[in-house]
Amino acid sequence: MTQSKNLSIKRLINGRYWASHHPLADKTGILHAHDLLIQNEQIIGLIAKDEGHYAFNSNDIEYHDLKNMLVTPGLIDCHTHLVFAGNRAYEWEKRLNGATYESIVKEGGGILSTVRATRESSEAELYNLSLPRLDSLMNEGVTTIEIKTGYGLDYDSELKTLKVIKELQNKHSIDISPTFLGAHAVPNEFIHNKSAYLDLVIDKMLPDFFTARLFEAVDIFCEKIAFSLDDAKRLFEKAHSLGIPIKAHAEQLSHLGASGLVAKFKGLSVDHIEYLEESDILLMKNSGTVATLLPLAFYFLKETKLPPIDLLRRHKIPIAVSTDFNPGTAPMASIRLAMNMAAVQFNLTPKEILKGVTVNAAKALNRSTSIGVISPNYLANLAIWAVDQPVEIFYELGKNPLVQRIYKGEFRKH
């Protein structure tokens, strides 16, 4: 079996492909009457169903009958905080009784309460806590996920988180893009000396962890209750000098202008952006920066200020959609729920939402030439759905229409 691996080709027949870029796709983005050819990890052809049968020795072809099911690119969750310990349900209860997210932060709760629990946990404990969260996303067709640090906030605990991410990557059929978010909050021991903490992040953790190839991009929470625009500038300048791609939690609770700054550094994405303004969007227009919308955090914080969707559309900014899975503002490990809420709360169209968890999410992770599109030369990372229309992927919650994932050319149970 292993001997024939390089030669053998999988030919997926009787499938329908969500390939909205394809000239023959219908108005919902579906391409009919085509077969997909996969060799090893890669897609090598998307061809008309009558074509190409003569081209290969039939012994080298494995046929897979998809029975009219819908195939999308494997979904990409491009913004999560999946590795953490502890429980913030009691804070939610406080909020349900009238407290605000900011007031809880000021009392020492919020991110710092998760930091305490995460610091106290071993690598093995963190791994075991993270696994069911990862499983739940994989079970909904996710084949690539971004995971941020940011609940350690000291050298050893951030390193521990990065090691857990690496372990998750090594043991599971999912592609993980780690992001360093040392600038998530100021830890208690530096509460009166924020700039010394930032020095530690910028001068020590950032170069050390990047040299050890433990992360791919750097993030910062730019907000009145976290880091300022000047802090972000310091971080980005250092990251830029080391060739590290940047992104930010920007304009989530107020407008600070971090998005424009990210754009000036040609950053990968600005995330949340409820308070984004047109002047920021104009800066993003030529930078390739993706606007990542996080409808679960919007919902869970009972935010009422909508991100400027029409302006993003008008200026043709690529829009990604992600879970933001985290214990404080989005404790839901469900990309389908995020997609559903992007539709209901943000009025995105099904096509925009599907692009938001595939091609545009790939762009936000600097992977736009390898994943997110069903096309030759892309990785064969796919999700197979028992649905008629694409919108059904996130229509009926409580019933999961995922049949199988294909990860790097291999069929996976989930």
Residues belonging to the binding site for Zn(2+) are 79, 81, 249, 324
Q: Which residues contact 387 (CB under 8 A, 6 or more apart)?
A: 69, 70, 393, 401
CA distances from 222 to 79, 116, 273, 295 (A): 16, 21, 11, 19
* Binder of residue 127, out of Fe ion, ligand NIG, none (CB less than 5 to 8 A by kind): none
Chain centroid to Cα 257, Å, comes to: 23
Q: Which of 217, 324, 338, 383 binds ligand NIG (CB under 6 A)?
A: 324
Residue among 22, 36, 21 nearest 70 (CA): 36
Three-state DSSP class for residue 65:
strand
Please name every residue paired with 221 in a beta bridge, in sequence order, or none if there are none. Answer: 249
Q: List, as residue ranges, the binding site.
A: 79, 81, 88, 151, 184, 249, 252, 324, 326, 328-329
Check binding of 324 to Fe ion (CB under 5 A).
yes
Q: List, as residue ranges, the binding site for Fe(3+).
A: 79, 81, 249, 324
* Binder of residue 244, out of ligand NIG, Fe ion, none (CB less than 5 to 8 A by kind): none
Q: Which residues contact 346 (CB under 8 A, 6 or more apart)?
A: 293, 295, 298, 306, 307, 309
Of 35 and 324, CB closest to ligand NIG? 324
Check binding of 269 to ligand NIG (CB under 6 A).
no
CA geometry: angle at 340 spanning 171 and 299, to 5°? 95
Q: Per the structure block, which two tokens stand in for 388?
A: 């008629």
CB of 185 to Fe ion, least distance (A): 12
Check binding of 327 to ligand NIG (CB under 6 A).
yes
CB of 249 to ligand NIG, least distance (A): 5
Check binding of 274 to Fe ion (CB under 5 A).
no
Check binding of 221 to ligand NIG (CB under 6 A).
yes
CB of 373 to ligand NIG, least distance (A): 27
Residue among 221, 215, 288 nearest 256 (CA): 221
Interface mask (CB under 6 A) for ligand NIG, residues 63-82, using x and -? Answer: ------------------x-
Of 36 and 273, CB closest to ligand NIG? 273
Q: Which of 39, 80, 149, 252 binds ligand NIG (CB under 6 A)?
A: 252
Residue among 371, 374, 375 nearest 384 (CA): 374
User: What letter represents residue 410's amino acid?
Assistant: E
Check binding of 326 to ligand NIG (CB under 6 A).
yes
Q: Where are the alpha helices (DSSP H) in 285-390?
A: 295-300, 309-314, 335-344, 350-356, 359-364
Check binding of 297 to ligand NIG (CB under 6 A).
yes
Distance between CA atoms of residues 70 and 36, nearest Å: 12
Q: Which of 11, 64, 234, 249 binds ligand NIG (CB under 6 A)?
A: 249
Q: Which stretch binds ligand NIG (CB under 6 A): 313-321, 323-331, 358-366, 405-413?
A: 323-331
302 HSE (CA, 13 A, CB side): 7
Check binding of 216 to Fe ion (CB under 5 A).
no
Q: Which of 15, 29, 109, 110 binds ligand NIG (CB under 6 A)?
A: 110
* Binder of residue 114, out of ligand NIG, Fe ion, none (CB less than 5 to 8 A by kind): ligand NIG
CB of 79 to ligand NIG, least distance (A): 7
Q: Which residues contact 195 (CB under 8 A, 6 or more apart)?
A: none
Helix axes 155-171, 123-138, angle to 10 degrees: 50
Q: Which stretch binds ligand NIG (CB under 6 A): 31-39, 203-211, 212-220, 321-329?
A: 321-329
DSSP string, 92-151: HHHHHTT--HHHHHHTT-THHHHHHHHHHS-HHHHHHHHHHHHHHHHTTTEEEEEEE--S
Check binding of 328 to ligand NIG (CB under 6 A).
yes
* Binder of residue 232, out of ligand NIG, Fe ion, none (CB less than 5 to 8 A by kind): none
The residue number with the shortest CB distance to Fe ion is 324
Q: Which stretch binds ligand NIG (CB under 6 A): 63-71, 109-117, 119-127, 274-282?
A: 109-117
Binding residues (CB under 5 A) for Fe ion: these are: 324
Interacting residues toward ligand NIG by CB under 6 A: 81, 110-111, 114, 221, 249, 252, 297, 324, 326-329
